[in-house]
Structure 1
């Protein structure tokens, strides 16, 4: 039953609205007459946005310089490095194994955590013998990532999944080109021929919170920064465990997600993006190991290189004014970033299903 607001609640709401109104008027740039809105709060806040852009663009310039200075490497081949469950680092992207997979994806090395996720997943699959003809892979929340097309070019059969089109979240992801509304969204002509793509790739709409029981017999499954958007920390953990069910015995699950690496106390939960902490990964690994699954060793080293120490801050490119995206955007590389005030980076998990 609807609860009628009390007098106290009405007063509290009035006070909050009044405080917000006064604050907004204090930080306005002008008084509405074209004159500066001179007051102590205006003096302290008027240049904060520019400080953000200054810091961000210096970080991006450093990242581009570091990438440009990397040696030109030829003759690289896929090899075993003993990849662990780990956080993304600059050193990873400077490695030969990352350069090899980035080259196979036809993406130049640049220091961005999204590229790290691509090469991390491929390296993990390679080390477990999954990138070869006849293997079956299941991708969750694939969006427009290049991995399905690359796997198809290697003769791997892939089921690409994403949210149903009528899902509200799907409408949000489609605005940032991170949603596979149709099978065409997964096609990368530079990576695979059309005939091979059509032979090896199929699409199915799947809610990651309710994986259908008829998805079975896959050799591997993966997801890239998708499970932290399932509504809660619990939902993401449940998904990781449930993603093992479609696998055959000895199959591999590779998932990347957000890692709140600086704050062991508070974190984000019950939100559009949740952030996992070290304790969550440790508890999950212990739980899965007790069931007989194998989790690659957990490595929480966040790196010591310059791009490991640059924590990007809002606003991010998708929220920049148009004049800035037209003039300034030449990639916005970062390995770490602030998500609602929490320092975060990517963390990858590699799990072998119990035999």
Structure 2
């Protein structure tokens, strides 16, 4: 009897507990709700936090467009006319406004049929071409391999100069390639690298081959090339260590005395804090110093390091989100043509491009 009464008391106590009227809401969900522009009834979401953050998008758009307008006005003032290739003695360095104001950058933009704007991606193309030219690799009979080429115009240009090119990229069925394909940054097939304003089809087909290659696992039969390059690819190899290892392993594809040129992301505002183990990692100055020291210790020749990021107006302008892929389709289409920046925020870190030039030790 006592056991039965005890069970009844326990059951009565358990059933008398009131259930919470609403499910528990996590702190993250509460925070998201607090910063929404619109409340449940499509009315302004007014609270202490939203009043602080709701005007940030407008401020960001204003900052962006003022920077873009500055870039346009500066570019409009650059001299026009014919240019010619010349030796300038490129260093391993960051992208700067001064570089894009130079006659050598303007020359390579002219060669590619590309409008010169103050954009770090334009700098990367000009930097790679200048390095390849002034190291004697842009001549008939040379052989080059590009890593993570996407839809770059460089293979077509080199083919027109009589250079044999191996274009490489991730295989289309690799899950990592899907994101690049959606943004026209993946080589879907040979035609992705064909730019008819730079080379005729016959020459392209004779001079350019495509092979799908994982930059973390370069096949052992990709060998004996005169030069190799990659443009903003090695920061997408998963970790900082993978990226640095790729720089060193890329020398394996070269003949003795061959040339490697790589550009990547540079977190210039911090000495230790950065992004690693992510889809896009950010390299610090110490990483470039480490790879420079390691390669020179092995006998390779690296162009001197210049870690300066410049001090002109476009060097000081740091673009902020939202970027084109984060805007509405209509706004992205209308504003994307005006994009111009040497630096931008990547997951909150100020970043720019950095290029490194390496001459493999001779036999």
Please state which band the TM-score falls in when normalised by the shorter chain. over 0.9
| 1:191 matched to 2:192 | no
Q: Match for 1:107 among 106, 114, 121?
A: 114
Q: How far is 1:331 from its partner?
A: 2.7
Partner of 1:250: 257
Name the larger-Rg structure. Answer: 2
Q: How far is 1:165 from its partner?
A: 1.1
* Cα distance per residue 1:221-240 (max 9 Å; x no partner): 00000000000000001100
Q: Match for 1:65 among 51, 70, 73?
A: 73
Q: Match for 1:213 among 211, 220, 223?
A: 220
Q: Match for 2:64 among 50, 56, 61?
A: 56
5+ residue gaps in structure 1? Answer: 1-13
With 313-322 and 82-91 compared, the bigger mean Cα shift is at 313-322
CA distance in 1, matches of 2:68, 2:312: 14
Give the direction of change, closer, same or farther, for the CA distance of 1:326–1:346 in structure 2 (3 Å limit).
closer
5+ residue gaps in structure 2? Answer: 1-22
Partner of 1:18: 26
Q: How far is 1:25 from its partner?
A: 2.0
Q: How far is 1:162 from its partner?
A: 0.3
Partner of 2:15: none
Partner of 2:7: none
SS of corresponding position for 1:138:
strand
Q: Match for 1:204 among 208, 211, 216?
A: 211
| 1:312 matched to 2:316 | no
Q: Match for 1:347 among 346, 354, 359?
A: 354
Partner of 1:122: 129
Partner of 1:294: 301
Partner of 1:138: 145
Partner of 2:46: 38
CA distance in 2, matches of 1:351, 1:215: 18
Q: Which aligned pairs between 1:223-234 and structure 2 lie closer than 5 A?
A: 223-234=230-241
Q: How far is 1:68 from its partner?
A: 1.0
With 24-33 and 221-230 compared, the bigger mean Cα shift is at 24-33
Q: How far is 1:49 from its partner?
A: 1.1
Alignment root-mean-square deviation, CA:
1.2
Q: How far is 1:290 from its partner?
A: 0.7
CA distance in 2, matches of 1:327, 1:284: 41
| 1:283 matched to 2:290 | yes
SS of corresponding position for 2:99:
helix
With 112-121 and 39-48 compared, the bigger mean Cα shift is at 39-48
Give the direction of change, closer, same or farther, for the CA distance of 1:229–1:326 in structure 2 (3 Å limit).
closer
Q: How far is 1:120 from its partner?
A: 0.3
* Cα distance per residue 1:261-293 (max 9 Å; x no partner): 011120111110011111111111110011110
Q: Figure out how many residues of one structure are paired with residues of the other and give that number.
A: 340
Q: How far is 1:31 from its partner?
A: 2.5
Q: How far is 1:35 from its partner?
A: 2.7
Given the two structures, how large is their TM-score scaled by the length of structure 1? Answer: 0.94
| 1:237 matched to 2:220 | no
SS of corresponding position for 1:22:
helix
